[in-house]
Every structure is written in C-alpha cells, then in structure tokens.
Amino acid sequence: MNYMYDKLIFLKNILVNAAINSEHSLAFWCLWVWLFVFLNSSRILKFLFRKMHFLIQEPELRRRVANKLIVPLKSIIVLIAISPFTDLIPGKYGNIIENLVDFSLAIMIVHFSIQLFNEFFFGWYLPIRRGTVLPNVISFILLGILYLVFSLLFMDWLLGINVWPLLATSTVFTAIVGLSLQDTFRNLFAGLTISLSKPFRIGDWIMFNGLNGHNHIGQVMEIGWRITKIRNLDFNYVVIPNEQFTTSTLVNFNLPSTSHAKTINFPINLQANLSRIIPVLESSALEITGVQSDPKPEASIEVVNTDHINVRLRFWLNEFDDADNITGRVIEICFKRLGELQALTTASGKLN
C-alpha cells in the first residue's frame, strides 16, 4: 500500500512540476486544452451554431456547414497543439518543422474561412436570399484565386520562398489566357450581373439595342451564363451574347407590371365636334378584346395644326405578343366610328 502511495505522490509531483515549474508548462497546458477541444470539437461547433441561430436558421444549412467544417476545425486544433512542441526540436530542423507547422496552420485557417464563406455566400445567401444559383465554374474560379493568393503570401512570409518570379510567370500566362478568352469572360460575367440584378426573367418581353444599332424585340425563353435566347415577333429564336444586355439600353415590357401602353394619333378636321369624338374613341377601344378597362383608354388633343387636329388615343394591353393584332383592330374600329362622324381629314395619322 505504501508503495502505491509513493508512486501516486511521485506522479503528482511530476504533474505539478510540468504544470507550474517546468520550462515546458505552456506545452503541458496546451496539450490538455487540445485534448479537451479535440474530443469535444463537434459539440463546440454545435454550441457555436446554437449561439448563431439568428444567422443560421435553416437546420439543413447548419448540418451542411458542420459536416464541411468539422475536419478543418480538428486539423486547426491539432496544429495549434503541435506548435508549442516545435520549440523543443533543436537545430535547423526544428526551425524548418516550426515554419512548416506555422504554414500549415495558416493555410488550414484560410481553408476553414473560405469554406465557411463558400457555404454562406454560394450555398445559402445567393440561392435562398437572392434566388440565384451560380454555376460551379464561377465559385471554383473565385475560391481558387483566394487559395492561390493566400498560399503565395504565406510561402513568402512563413517559409521564406521568393514567390515573385512565380507571380511574374503566372501573370504572363494569365494575360495570354485572358486575351484569348476575353469575349467568353465578358459574357460570363455579364451573365453573372444579369443573374444578380435580374433586369428580366424568362417569359418577359424586352427591347434592346443590337450591334447594328436597331432595336430588337423578343420574349426571353432561356437565360444562360454566356448567352440568352429570345423569341422575336416572327417566332424565330435569336441567341444573344449576354454582354449586349449590359452595354445597351434595355426596356422590359413586363416590369413593373405586364401592362404596357399603345398610342395612336388620329387626324381630325377643324370643324369636328371634339366633345363627341373623344368619348367615341375611348368607348370604341374598349370594344376590342385585349384592351384593358383599368386603366381605361384616354383620348386627348395633342396638337392643333393649320389644316387638322391631332387627337391622341392611349390604351393599355396585357398581351404583348398579340399587341399588333389588337392595335390593328382598335385602329379599324376607331376609323370606322370617325368616318361615321365625318371627322377624318386627308392628313396622315401616326402610330407610336
């Protein structure tokens, strides 16, 4: 019994000396802290998520982030625990190992941060909050650039490796690739801009300036990351590079609502009874299917010329693809009613 008691006292003295009086006290306590944190890393991560419940409310997101970050977190804990012991290795090998551990720890912290950013930004904020799903190539390029930049910086700071010649070589290579793929990259990032700003959606009718300077009208059928497909008024599919939508004027006939106006100018003779003609034009437009009653058609005097009066009729439509047909029927019935009132002149009318 005394023998066992002496052994326990001896072991206690060793532990007390290692914890308080020894030059390795820091390494001793780091080892115990590391063991505690390493064995409870999953619980610690879940505890942090519970404290951040206001930011991570979706259970699926919490589970995915926890699964993605648990390995980097444990690796960081292991490297932190190893760091104090590298001072015990003598000679130049000790310095090399210490630098490698510091470099690995820095890279793992960057990896942990980038993966956290990846899950929040690309995996949660864009698809859930903004309704945008980026292609994998975009996230791969952006995250790859972050990894490369931090790796080169840490190689220079922690390992003493001169990375400037490598940077110069990579810059030349990047310039060559960038020049050869500049059109593709412009369209790709234009597609990213369209996806984030959402100037139009599938099914919207839009008008934009083409390369030849003419206005093109069509319905959006497909939105890609490099091109957008539209169907024009002739029912032909047109493939448009996304860059054109970010460098030219764009009109969306479906925003802020699907209602859009049409305007017709009618030439009325100077002797006509305008107080009768204006309500006739407004009521005649409402007889045509497709013309909205709210807002109701509006007729008003636009300009008085020496030989006739221009009366403008403005009405609203919902069916953009049938707008020409509806407008034609409105013109037909209005000219019929004006003919019955003998209000027309030989001056030419104008459709806007």
For the chain, how many structural domains are there in total? Answer: 3
- Residue 112 pLDDT: 87
User: Are both 100 and 156 inside the same structural domain?
Assistant: yes
- Residue 189 pLDDT: 76
CB-CB contact of 200 with 242 (8 Å) = no
User: Are both 46 and 147 inside the same structural domain?
Assistant: yes
Cα–Cα distance, 58 to 338 (Å, whole number):
65
| 89 HSE (CA, 13 A, CB side) | 14
User: Are both 158 and 273 inside the same structural domain?
Assistant: no
Phi-psi region of 23 (alpha: psi -120 to 50; beta: other; left: phi over 0): alpha
User: Are both 61 and 151 inside the same structural domain?
Assistant: yes
- Residue 298 pLDDT: 92
Q: Model-level pTM? A: 0.56
User: Are both 152 and 41 inside the same structural domain?
Assistant: yes
Whether residue 330 has pLDDT greater than 90: yes
CB-CB contact of 182 with 191 (8 Å) = no
Q: 27-81: per-residue pLDDT in tens?
A: 666 666 667 766 676 676 666 666 555 455 666 676 777 777 778 877 887 787 7
Structural domain including 206 reads: 201-252
Task: Give the bridge partners for 350, in sequence order.
Answer: 265
User: Are both 103 and 28 inside the same structural domain?
Assistant: yes
**What is the sign of the dihedral through the CA atoms of 314, 318, 320 and 326?**
negative
Q: Is residue 8 part of a domain?
A: no
User: Are both 36 and 147 inside the same structural domain?
Assistant: yes
Whether residue 260 has pLDDT greater than 50: yes
User: Are both 29 and 173 inside the same structural domain?
Assistant: yes
Q: In 10 A of CB 242, how many CB atoms?
A: 23
- Residue 264 pLDDT: 92
- Residue 6 pLDDT: 57
Q: Is residue 238 part of a domain?
A: yes
Q: What is the mean pLDDT of the chain?
A: 78
Cα–Cα distance, 193 to 239 (Å, whole number):
18
